[in-house]
Amino acid sequence: MNRYARNLERLLETPEELSLGDEGSRNEIEDLIRKAAEEGREVLTEEESKKILEGYGIDSPESRLAKSMDEAVEAASEIGFPCDEGQFFGRWS
């Protein structure tokens, strides 16, 4: 229950101030956005988005890719609850 409350609190957390940690973070964020723009993308990948949030010191929920139901159960046990089964839940044979 404690993990559930902590994860829920993180999901609802709003940072007081957004500031970049260091010049390296700023350059990495600019490079990510520039690369996406050069590729003609208007949307960042999940990994790119999480790197930007991390650069601003914003925690994001841990995620894992599971290729089977057993892997999904193991990941959920390690990450904690609540867990989102994602869009492919139930499609494993």
Burial tier of 75 (Cβ tally within 10 Å: 0-12, 13-18, 19+): middle
Residue of higher predicted confidence among 56 and 74: 74
- Separation CA 52–CA 54 (nearest Å): 5
Residue of higher predicted confidence among 87 and 77: 77
Enter the pTM of the model. 0.54
Q: Cβ atoms within 10 A of the Cβ of 11, count?
A: 11
Q: Which has the minimum average pLDDT: 20-29, 37-46, 48-57?
A: 20-29
| Confidence at residue 12, expressed as pLDDT on a 0 to 100 scale | 82
